[in-house]
Structure 1
Amino acid sequence: MQWVQANLSEIRYVSCTGKHNNLIKTLHLKDEKLNYEGSFDELRIFLTSQNFLQIDRGLVVNLEKVDYVNLKKNEVHLKDMDDILKATSIKSKILSEKLAI
């Protein structure tokens, strides 16, 4: 597994976009984005064992950075960020239960 230098506590969320052989994996920090060259599956598995939750096929969010979840719109709002993440309906419910919102 290839690692970029970032503390887990700095990562707000990880996104994976693109198609099969052209995937772009990005670590979203508060004020910057870092590209990740390794396997998204390996990164996802590691992060979900560390207080992160996969909320959609290509999105893994740091539970400590979630401000609130809008269950009607399946939106995840992060602390100190304007980014609004779309989650699947079941993951929205799981996330809100984990956060006791």
Structure 2
Amino acid sequence: MNILIVEDDPIFAQGLQAMLEEMGYHSLGIAQEANEALRLMSATQPDLILMDIHIRGAMDGIEVAEQMKQRSLMIPVIFLTSLQNQETFSRAKQTNPFAYLSKPVEVAQLQRAIELALHKYAHKSSHLNEWANDVAIQNSFFVKAGRRIQKVHIPDIYYLEVDRNYSTIMLKDQPLKVRMTFKELSQKLPGHQFLKINKSYIVNLAKVDNADLEKNEVQVGQYVVPLSKRYRKDLLKALDIG
């Protein structure tokens, strides 16, 4: 279990690390301010975040949690704070944290909070695919990539490579690997725009630049995708060539 600590008090942060070690968890490190916290979240993909509300920088811990939602960083958060006012609690509640603990924190209290947070997150994760389908809109859809829920803009897709239960969505800048079958992906794509040209490849026809029928290759932007003879006629028909 990998846990990231967001805390600007070094003594308290070291105390948290000691507690986590005692409980058998692994600390991925300590972030003392908002930008550092967000960078480490993206880089290390923690299983859980212990977030102090009052931290250094332009954003407090609650605003960091809001940024996480905007960036689709679906990581459970436990807030830690010495602030006792209702306004702070009300703001924190809007980010749907998995727990809210007041400082100082005892080992048993933290242990229970972590166990409950992970239990609640596991239950919530079982419904992520349903949620992703519900929020798909117009020219985009959502996929679960690792611990992230990622929006994919359909016009940005060059091609898809399918390997059993996994698929790679090839975008301009980077590949996006997801646990999805060909059937699951096909349901999210407009059939008139995407064509299967090989048992493992589906291309975005809008991105096709040329096809070499001698080499059995299709140029899709900067990528070259193999063309199966079986699907050659389908490609010619889709490109409106007799």
TM-score by shorter chain over 0.5: yes
Aligned position for 2:236: 96
Kept in 2, the 8 Å contact 1:44–1:54? The answer is: no
Shift of 1:51: 0.7
After superposition, the Cα gap between the structure-2 partners of 1:40 and 1:97, relative to the gap in structure 1 and judged at 3 Å, is: closer
Shift of 1:48: 5.4
Does residue 153 of structure 2 align to residue 7 of structure 1? yes
Shift of 1:100: 3.5
Q: How many residues align?
A: 95
After the TM superposition, which parts of structure 1 deviate over 4 Å for at least 4 consecutive aligned residues? none
Aligned position for 2:216: 74
CA deviations over 1:20-76 (Å, ceiling 9, x no partner)? 5xx431000011111112232221344252510011111110000000111112111
Query: Cα RMSD (Å) of the superposition?
Result: 2.0
Unpaired runs of 5+ in structure 2? 1-128, 133-142, 144-149
What is the rounded CA distance, in whole Å, between the counterparts of 2:184 and 2:192 in structure 1?
A: 13
Aligned-pair identity in percent equals 31
1 or 2 for the larger relative contact order (CA 8 Å, sep ≥6)?
1
Kept in 1, the 8 Å contact 2:162–2:181? The answer is: no
Does residue 173 of structure 2 align to residue 31 of structure 1? yes
Shift of 1:97: 3.0
Q: SS at 2:197's partner residue?
A: strand
Kept in 2, the 8 Å contact 1:24–1:35? The answer is: yes
Aligned position for 1:40: 182
Unpaired runs of 5+ in structure 1? none
What is the rounded CA distance, in whole Å, between the counterparts of 1:95 and 1:33 in structure 2?
A: 24
Which amino acid in structure 1 is aligned with residue 236 of structure 2?
S
Q: Which has the larger radius of gyration?
A: 2
Moved more, 2-11 or 41-50: 41-50
Shift of 1:96: 2.7
Which amino acid in structure 2 is aligned with residue 84 of structure 1?
V
What is the rounded CA distance, in whole Å, between the counterparts of 2:229 and 2:237 in structure 1?
A: 13
Does residue 211 of structure 2 align to residue 65 of structure 1? no
Which amino acid in structure 2 is aligned with residue 96 of structure 1?
L
More strand by share: 1
What is the rounded CA distance, in whole Å, between the counterparts of 1:95 and 1:67 in structure 2?
A: 13
